[in-house]
Structure 1
Amino acid sequence: MRPLSQRPRTETRVVFADIDDTLTTEGLITAPSFSALWALHDAGIAVVPVTGRPAGWCDHIARMWPVAGVVGENGAFYFRYDAAGRRLTRRFVLDEATRAGLQDRLRAIRDRVLAEVPGAAVASDQAYRIHDLAIDFCEDVPPLDRAAVDRIVAIFEAAGATAKVSSIHVNGWFGTYDKLGMMKTFAAEVLGLDLDDPADRTRAVYVGDSPNDEPAFA
């Protein structure tokens, strides 16, 4: 892994970046962080946040941040706003009927987590989610210990769901998608880059801090 300071600037076409505790500091987008997004935008480098945050947030991010698009709910979709055409493109892994059919199973997991893990709570942004269930273990609740977080993950997995731990939530969903998969889709469909090709991969940078970012560093 090369230090960023040794990377030729001419190589980079896109920066993919996690949001919570990567772009944010103690839950806030600081002025230097947001200014850096604008600096990249103005330099012609695409910026794509890649987050576990919900669809409702991602609609706002795609429209109002200086970004080329956003990957949300841990790879469930990307949103991209065309300002000139005044059009939001929404690209989902699962179709609407499939998503609707999974909600009862997610609610059953929610009920079991709340019953079995004291102190856990449904994330405050759950109402704006489409694909997944987010359980808060330290954002708006007193921090839970590692054993409690592991128990939440185990409940998801016992129900056949995928579970990923971020810096604030355990996110769970049904399906095999992840952040990296939708990054590849976005890169191919929007930027014309094949992230499985070593030459194209050198044109992309990823920045993240949590276990749910691990696929991007594989």
Structure 2
Amino acid sequence: MLYTALGDSITYGENASSLAKAYPQLAVDALNSRSRSRRATGYVLARPGWTSHDLLNAVIWKGSSAISKSDVVSVWIGGVDLANAALSSIKNQQQIAIKPILTPYRQNLRAILAHIKSVSNARIICCTQYNPFPNSSLAAAAIDQLNYTTIEVAQSYHAQIAPAHRWFEGKQASLIYGYRNGRLEDALSGTLPIHPNDRGHQVIANGLIPYLASRN
């Protein structure tokens, strides 16, 4: 079984203590510990800072070969699209302009899923985005809209939906590296407190395993 994980810095493993502690590898290790007859291998196509447009380009120009051989593909993208707009809004003391983000995000996600389907029979899993700033109503509203769009597009391509936002809800302080106050303003004081720590990656892997292991 080949599992391909597509995404941005979260999927890459930013702020995990090592790439072996990032959720894609943890999930593969867990699958292999469960079954000796069906061995799993993993391939990660993800980079810190990738927007949905960056991932689309990577999927088309770099990922087709691996995707074509994959049994299951997960897609976790959109956080950077939203973060860039959020940081700009905070600095300019404006509301987050979500509509200009969601239109190209929807188009890019649709194109990503369409390309996967055009080169592979792999099952597709779309992950929702958790809220690293649970004490900010602006962040909550924006991420809700991002997730709504993700779910809408995923369903239109018959992809499964992994609700990562539920796995982190109410537990952000213990699952996010560098978590401070859970407010958008925390993003202005150095390192962005948005990535999972090792425990957070383990939570994601645990949540994904039932989707990866399913043969339906």
TM-score normalised by length of structure 1 = 0.34
Greater relative contact order (CA < 8 Å, ≥ 6 in sequence) = 2
Structure that is richer in strand per residue: 1
